[in-house]
Amino acid sequence: MASLNVGNLGEYLREQRRQAQLSLRQLADAAGVSNPYLSQIERGLRKPSAEILQQLAKALRISAETLYVQAGILDERDRDEVETRAVILADPSINERQKQVLLQIYESFRKENAADASERHDEMPPMN
């Protein structure tokens, strides 16, 4: 797990808020946090919890995983896996059994590819 990068998180949040054309107060109200607290997050003075990040993401209509990556809570590769799983689980055109089968196949491919990558790494000759 990466370290919490609150400076970049604050800048990112501010940019997302501006793109959404929300004032600081509007976002604070929509996310259920105080205006001063949100201001401190944006200025990099506070470290929000994952729950607060989730509330902010919902209010901004962006994925919570995106904010987790910005905050250093989640690695970029982890976000891809979480988002892939979320898309499969949210698909209304397939039933629950099919979703579970797809997730099992997806996980088996990830494990197989990780094992292949590990073997290739082990086979590489040392560099002089």
pLDDT-based confidence at residue 128 (cuts at 50, 70, 90): low
pLDDT of residue 1: 38
pTM, 2 dp: 0.61
Report the Cα 87 to chain-centroid distance in Å.
Answer: 14
Higher pLDDT, 54 or 7: 54
Considering only 7-16, 26-35, 43-52, 78-87, which range has the smallest mean pLDDT?
78-87
Between residues 106 and 7, the one the model is more confident about: 106
| Residues in contact with 65: Cβ distance below 8 Å, sequence separation at least 6, in sequence order | 74, 79, 82, 83
Q: Are 59 and 69 in contact (CB under 8 A)?
A: no
What pLDDT is stored for residue 125 in this prediction? 60
DSSP assigned state of 18: H
Give percent of the chain above pLDDT 90. 49
Distance CA 9, CA 46 (A): 10
pLDDT in tens, 77-91: 777 787 788 788 878
pLDDT on residue 3: 40
Between CA 126 and CA 110 the distance in angstroms is 26
First to last CA, the chain: 31
Q: Where are the alpha helices (DSSP H) in 47-94?
A: 50-60, 64-71, 76-90
Q: Is the model's pLDDT at 4 over the cut of 50?
A: no
The number of CA neighbours under 13 Å toward the Cβ of 27 is 27
Of the listed ranges 13-17, 43-47, 123-127, the one predicted with least confidence: 123-127
Report the chain's mean pLDDT, rounded to a whole number: 85
pLDDT of residue 58: 93
